[in-house]
Structure 1
Amino acid sequence: MHTDEAHQATLTRCVERLRQQMPAVGLRNPKIGNAHNRWIYCNGADWVMGFQTGQLWLAYQLTGSSAFKNAAQARRPEFEQILRDRRLRDHDLGFQFSLSSVAEWLLTGDDRARAMGISAADALLARFRPEGGYIQAWSAQGTHDREKAAFANGRMIADTMQNLALLYWAHRETAIEDYRDVAQIHAATAASCLVRDDDTSFHTFLFDPSTGEPLRGETHQGYADASCWSRGQAWLMHGFAQCYAATRDPAHLDVARRLSAKAEALVGSTAVPVWDFNLPDTETPYIDSSAGAVMAAGLYLLADQDIPAEEALRWRAFADRLIDGLLSTCDLTKTEGAQGLLAHGAAHVPAGRCDTMLPYGDYYFMEALMRSVGHTQFFW
């Protein structure tokens, strides 16, 4: 079967799996899979809660079926609760609201959805730390856990690059320069602090909370501070490609190219990226289907930019190879009884969460498949 046909057939199975599972999932938001390919659900607000909603909006975009639209809109109260309670908000507002409120606004023109998206962008903007030029990642508030607060304060992480799209969207909607300016400053800081000279990446970077002085790169979900966590590399690849698509700033394109070329070398001939590219022989080389899906989606996005045709073919070929790896190794869309789309995701290996379904792997798998067959309208 031709690549486009195989990807379209898989995408059709993804939509059908979502349709089949709606009565089982209901209003719940998948958090992680169990050993039987069934979902364990979020308990209230969670950074992953937007990915089921995002898949439903993608399915609505593809089919026009009101069942998907209704299921996505029915989740609105949980997102409204995040906007009412500052304790529930952190840097992941883009993951949550680009895939829910912004998606709803773009596909239905609902004014309340637009207002929610702007409110979420305002909350993300408020996390900007001008002394260091970055958006604070996790919240360091409260006195109940001083160790956690000390770890979180003054920290940026690779994942935030995926959330900048909410700020760029808010700038397009309102023409308020603050949104774009903060996104641009954070991206520049990420390029200088999270991206190493050899084009691998840190997961996190720590700044002096009072002065903004850059201190050191570290990890949280990777193997070691000096290693390269594959999903972190993927977040940055997709994120800088997003930034370039939003701004046409050549600095973003340069970083996206460098990160993608390094990932190409690190993945090598393997079918699916290992969870960290610098594992010693003593560590189990779990693969991470979510890293492969995020990388593939970012590479297709990069290939669709105004770059030379030969280069675009290179990134598309790499993305096709990653999708082929997912199809041969991780695809659950033909597995009877599975509730998700991809197996073998690595959520947080140091914490023991690996070899499982992940809602973000599923979302980016759908996005990558759509990009691979020519779709260009998304919610980022």
Structure 2
Amino acid sequence: MTALSRRLVLGGAAAAAAGLPLVAQPVQAAPAKADPRALRDGLDYAVRKLRAVAPGITRFPEETKFEKWIYTDGGGWVGGFWPGLLWLAHLETKDPLFRRLAEESARRLAPRRTDLGTHDLGFLFYPSWVTAWRLTGNREWRDGAIQAADSLIRRYNAKGRFLRAWGHINDPGNAGRVIIDTMMNLDLLFFASKETGDSKYADIAVDHARTTARHFVRPDGSTPHVFDFDPATGAPVGPNTVQGYSPTSCWSRGQSWAIYGFTTVYRRTGQREFLDVATKLADHVLPYLRTDPVPIWDYRSPYAPNDIRDSSAGAITACGLLDLAKITGNARYRDTATTVLGAITDTCLTTRSTRAEAIVARGTRHRSAEGGIEVSLPYGDYYYVEALLRLFRPAELGAAIGL
């Protein structure tokens, strides 16, 4: 019996013995169009929660344990989401408290600008420093984000035309490993090209997106988490996974990164090839989301639909679908996005807990490794609020994050 099946069986037995519902009960589909009042209440709740919790947080939330944030001092790969969330709260409220806390948190990321050990510099600096530049006009934030972009492009493999994912640039381990998540780091490079007038950043971003489209995107529009290349020659080796169920499955958060990321690349380049990929990726998940608007952690889990959910994948997907709807005028994307947000609002918010420090529950960080299951995640909170602001403050959010 695998670790996944043991957890499902043992967890279900324990819940049944305690007279509790199974954690992985399928979520019932929400109405095609969620109640705008409920979504507005969800945004108001997010602001209230942040107003109560944020003044006491001086590090970077990573995930929750027993509903309380646990932290990473250096930010890990998630460090940009907390200051980013505070910037979104400031955008919604204009409260100077949120601006002060966002700036204090973002500045704690300053040492990471020259980090050559991670591909996640876009996750770190786009929601924090790029948004700060757009909202304040302080060149400190702009220049720091460009410095982070300089660090990111050093991970470029010219033979394979990709940005390597994990490991220090001088470490041969994982030198040919590419992951779907990196699609979300490309917008930092487009920002750097626009600000500096130097096309080298955008050229690398486009190369990486084309490589990802060619090797990750299957004929049915699904994706694996990982694709490996020979780092010396750039030759493709094949698909793999770390966080998905298998190399042939479809990890839901990875698919959400892809939908959002390819839509953004189209927005930055205007090249139809990227819009075609984004719609193909989105069309693949629409049938799943009509049945279960809060997606399970892997769309091809053998335990579907009775498996663990990942609300963060739902929130990210909603953002991508709303952007696609805006670009294409396709109402299916907007209706599905609001359905997902309605289901998250109805079934995943922490409104019934007096001790919870996060906004959104039912997130899953790493199901395959039995890590961070049924927890809150900073990116789940961030993208939930971003998606709601796409609905309620589209012009202001667009100015803040470059829509």
Indicate the RMSD between aligned Cα atoms, in angstroms: 1.9
How far does residue 29 in structure 1 lie from its aligned partner after superposition?
A: 0.9
**Match for residue 238 of structure 1?**
260
Which amino acid counterpart does residue 14 of structure 1 have in structure 2?
Answer: A
Is 1:127 the counterpart of 2:155? The answer is yes
**Match for residue 252 of structure 1?**
274
Which amino acid counterpart does residue 252 of structure 1 have in structure 2?
Answer: F
* Cα distance change on mapping 1:314 and 1:374 into 2, 3 Å: farther
Q: Distance in 2 between matches of 1:361 and 1:321?
A: 16
Q: Superposed, which structure 2 residues align to 1:286-301 within 5 Å?
A: 286-301=308-323
How far does residue 76 in structure 1 lie from its aligned partner after superposition?
A: 3.7
Where 1:350 maps in the other structure, the secondary structure is helix
Q: Superposed, which structure 2 residues align to 1:292-311 within 5 Å?
A: 292-305=314-327, 307=328, 309=329, 311=330
Is 1:351 the counterpart of 2:369? The answer is yes
Q: Distance in 2 between matches of 1:287 and 1:277?
A: 10
Is 1:105 the counterpart of 2:105? The answer is no
How far does residue 5 in structure 1 lie from its aligned partner after superposition?
A: 2.7
How far does residue 60 in structure 1 lie from its aligned partner after superposition?
A: 1.1
40, 48, 65: which one aligns with 1:34: 65
State, as a whole percentage, how many aligned pairs show the same letter: 37
Q: Superposed, which structure 2 residues align to 1:7-156 within 5 Å?
A: 7-25=39-57, 27-35=58-66, 37-86=67-116, 89-140=117-168, 150=173, 152-156=174-178
How far does residue 44 in structure 1 lie from its aligned partner after superposition?
A: 2.0
Q: Distance in 2 between matches of 1:282 and 1:254?
A: 28
TM-score, normalised via structure 1 length: 0.92
How far does residue 112 in structure 1 lie from its aligned partner after superposition?
A: 1.0
Which amino acid counterpart does residue 341 of structure 2 have in structure 1?
Answer: I
**Match for residue 146 of structure 1?**
none
* Cα distance change on mapping 1:357 and 1:183 into 2, 3 Å: same
1:95/1:163 contact within 8 Å kept? yes
* Cα distance change on mapping 1:261 and 1:84 into 2, 3 Å: closer
1:121/1:167 contact within 8 Å kept? yes
285, 289, 294: which one aligns with 1:267: 289
Where 2:62 maps in the other structure, the secondary structure is strand
1:4/1:373 contact within 8 Å kept? no
* Cα distance change on mapping 1:85 and 1:274 into 2, 3 Å: closer
Q: Distance in 2 between matches of 1:142 and 1:132?
A: 17
Which amino acid counterpart does residue 273 of structure 1 have in structure 2?
Answer: P
* Cα distance change on mapping 1:284 and 1:169 into 2, 3 Å: same
Where 1:74 maps in the other structure, the secondary structure is helix
Q: Distance in 1 between matches of 2:75 and 2:222?
A: 32
Measured against aligned partners, the alpha-carbon deviations of 1:317-356 in whole angstroms (never above 9, x if no partner) come to 0101111111122111453221111111010011212110
**Match for residue 29 of structure 2?**
none
How far does residue 2 in structure 1 lie from its aligned partner after superposition?
A: 7.1
158, 168, 191: which one aligns with 1:169: 191
335, 359, 364: which one aligns with 1:317: 335
Which amino acid counterpart does residue 288 of structure 1 have in structure 2?
Answer: D
Moved more, 4-13 or 279-288: 279-288
How far does residue 126 in structure 1 lie from its aligned partner after superposition?
A: 1.2
Dislocated runs of 4+, deviation >4 Å: 140-143
Where 1:355 maps in the other structure, the secondary structure is strand
* Cα distance change on mapping 1:301 and 1:221 into 2, 3 Å: same
230, 241, 245: which one aligns with 1:219: 241
How far does residue 174 in structure 1 lie from its aligned partner after superposition?
A: 1.2
How far does residue 85 in structure 1 lie from its aligned partner after superposition?
A: 4.8
How far does residue 67 in structure 1 lie from its aligned partner after superposition?
A: 0.7
**Match for residue 210 of structure 1?**
232
1:17/1:333 contact within 8 Å kept? no
**Match for residue 3 of structure 2?**
none
Q: Distance in 2 between matches of 1:23 and 1:111?
A: 26
Which amino acid counterpart does residue 209 of structure 1 have in structure 2?
Answer: P
Q: Distance in 2 between matches of 1:101 and 1:334?
A: 33
Which amino acid counterpart does residue 296 of structure 1 have in structure 2?
Answer: A
1:333/1:340 contact within 8 Å kept? no
**Match for residue 35 of structure 2?**
3
Which amino acid counterpart does residue 346 of structure 1 have in structure 2?
Answer: T
How far does residue 4 in structure 1 lie from its aligned partner after superposition?
A: 2.7
Q: Distance in 2 between matches of 1:340 and 1:4?
A: 22
